[in-house]
């Protein structure tokens, strides 16, 4: 079996991930932050260690500025719904996932002005177009870092500088880049970084979070949910400090223990080394695909402008049929269709049929890429 669906959920995970989760369930088990006994304290320490690892990865001074959520969707909903008010303008791109677009369309109905900057058919964005769209009421710029459809990287460093220059908050959706592309919230001028645990960070599903930068006034960022936090228990008002203000209810401690090991693995191997491997895999796959008559590859020519997400189509064949044949005849797992991003598919011209999408991880090897190329070639030749 060959797994090329890492942009959806990475598989396999480093073995330490599952081991840490089992250790938590068997040896710790308790609720963090709720009781004073040693198992509860130990559970709290384990959560804190996950924050410390992520803080090291993203260059965050205070690990308590990391809020845990269920996934990146929850982190994006929290930020967009918590920050934007009627009359505010928000700037985004035409390559966004529905985890950004749907909250924005909902907010638009409530009076938030949504400005969508068009990207090129390769998915690239001119940062100058962002700057020109800035108005007096612009509150936030939100961009995905790497496209989940065609892998194109958006120029977040340039846009971060623009946001800083105009004193506008900058939210980055790092669903496809956290763990496999260098991110530094200080260097990149990122105020809010939304990430998910189950993709390139190698954690289990049900883990993710939001980094709340120092320029964010938490009094102006409303929580998505309120409730028990284990702190300020005498009060019926939500606490106003990080991370408790945004972390109500018992967290997914077992999942977050797994995430910690995923991040430790990345820190040990090095993001640059992981990135380099994924670039090599992408280059090999794209080169192979382009030699097959009737195959169209979407996105940037240069792999350096991408993450390891590669979309293509075979002339006169439906993505769904190609995907089924890859699975049943060649034992290759990929994703086909619209990838939760109608805006991106309209931008690249693949709406409504979609694409066949391959996405690689650190654990894929060249032999798998070569087998995939042969499989696609056979299917394209009608074999």
Partner 1 sequence: MKENYSVVIFYSTSTAIRAESLAKKDELIVKLIPVPRNLSSDCGICLRFNNEEKPKIEKILQDGKIEYENIYKI
* Residue number with CB closer to partner 1 (62 or 184): 62
Distance CA 173, CA 171 (A): 7
Judged by CB under 8 A, the residue of 18, 82, 205, 230 near partner 1 is 230
Q: Tokens 């995970």 appear where?
A: 13
Q: How far is the CB of 228 from partner 1 (least distance, A)?
A: 12
Name the percent of the chain in helix, strand, coil, to the closest 5.
40, 15, 40
| 86 CB-contact burial (10 Å; exposed 0-12 / middle 13-18 / buried 19+) | exposed
Residue 41 is a binding residue for partner 1 (CB under 8 A): yes
Q: For partner 1, which stretch binds (CB under 8 A), given 37-45, 157-165, 272-280, 366-374?
A: 37-45
Structure tokens at 161: 């500088």
Judged by CB under 8 A, does residue 34 bind partner 1?
Answer: yes
Where do the DSSP E strands lie in the chain? 2-3, 66-69, 89-93, 113-117, 138-144, 169-173, 192-196, 208-212, 295-297, 309-314, 332-333, 335-337, 355-359
Question: By CB under 8 A, which span of 9-17, 150-158, 228-236, 349-357 interacts with partner 1?
Answer: 228-236
Binding flag, residue 64, partner 1 (CB under 8 A) = yes
If one asks whether residue 273 binds partner 1 (CB under 8 A), the answer comes out as no
Q: Is 209 in the site for partner 1 (CB under 8 A)?
A: no
Residue 342 in tokens: 């109608």
Based on CB atoms, which residue is closest to partner 1, 74 or 244? Answer: 244
Asked if 244 touches partner 1 (CB under 8 A), the answer is yes
**Which residues 289-348 are close enough to bind partner 1 by CB under 8 A?**
none
CB of 238 to partner 1, least distance (A): 12
Characterize 169-187 residue by residue with b for buried, 16 or more Cβ atoms within 10 angstroms of its Cβ, and e for exposed. bbbbbbbbbbbbbebebee
Q: Is 213 in the site for partner 1 (CB under 8 A)?
A: no
- Which residues lie near partner 1 (CB under 8 A)? 32-37, 40-41, 44-45, 47-48, 52, 62-64, 229-234, 239, 241, 243-244
């Amino acid at each position: 079996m060959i797994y090329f669906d890492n942009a959806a959920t990475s598989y396999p995970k480093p073995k330490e991930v599952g081991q840490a989760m089992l250790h938590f369930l068997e040896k710790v088990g308790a609720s963090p932050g709720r009781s004073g006994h040693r198992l509860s304290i130990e559970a709290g320490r384990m959560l804190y260690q996950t924050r410390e690892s992520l803080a090291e990865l993203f260059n965050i001074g205070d690990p308590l500025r990391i809020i845990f959520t269920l996934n990146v969707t929850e982190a994006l909903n929290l930020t967009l719904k918590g920050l934007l008010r009627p009359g505010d303008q928000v700037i985004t791109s035409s390559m966004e996932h529905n985890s950004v677009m749907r909250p924005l369309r909902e907010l638009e109905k409530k009076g938030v002005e949504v400005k969508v900057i068009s990207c090129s058919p390769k998915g690239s964005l001119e940062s100058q177009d962002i700057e020109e769209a800035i108005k007096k009421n612009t509150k936030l710029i939100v961009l995905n870092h790497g496209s989940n459809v065609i892998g194109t990287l958006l120029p977040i460093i340039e846009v971060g500088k623009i946001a800083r220059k105009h004193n506008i908050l900058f939210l980055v959706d790092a669903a496809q880049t956290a763990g496999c592309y260098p991110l530094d919230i200080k260097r990149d001028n990122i105020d809010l970084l939304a990430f998910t645990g189950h993709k390139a960070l190698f954690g289990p599903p049900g883990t993710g979070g939001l980094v709340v930068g120092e320029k964010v006034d938490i009094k102006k960022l409303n929580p998505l949910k309120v409730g028990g936090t284990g702190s300020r228990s005498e009060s019926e008002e939500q606490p106003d400090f990080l991370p408790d203000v945004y972390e109500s209810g018992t967290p997914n401690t077992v999942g977050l223990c797994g995430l910690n090991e995923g991040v430790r693995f990345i820190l040990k191997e090095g993001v640059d080394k992981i990135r380099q491997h994924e670039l090599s895999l992408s280059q090999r796959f794209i080169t192979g695909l382009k030699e097959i008559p009737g195959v169209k590859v979407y996105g940037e020519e240069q792999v350096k402008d991408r993450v390891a997400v590669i979309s293509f189509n075979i002339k006169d064949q439906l993505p769904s049929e190609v995907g089924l044949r890859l699975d049943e005849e060649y034992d290759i797992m990929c994703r086909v269709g619209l990838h939760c991003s109608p805006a991106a598919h309209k931008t690249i011209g693949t709406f409504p049929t979609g694409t066949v999408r391959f996405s690689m991880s650190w654990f894929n090897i060249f032999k798998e890429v070569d087998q995939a190329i042969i499989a696609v070639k056979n299917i394209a030749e009608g074999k």
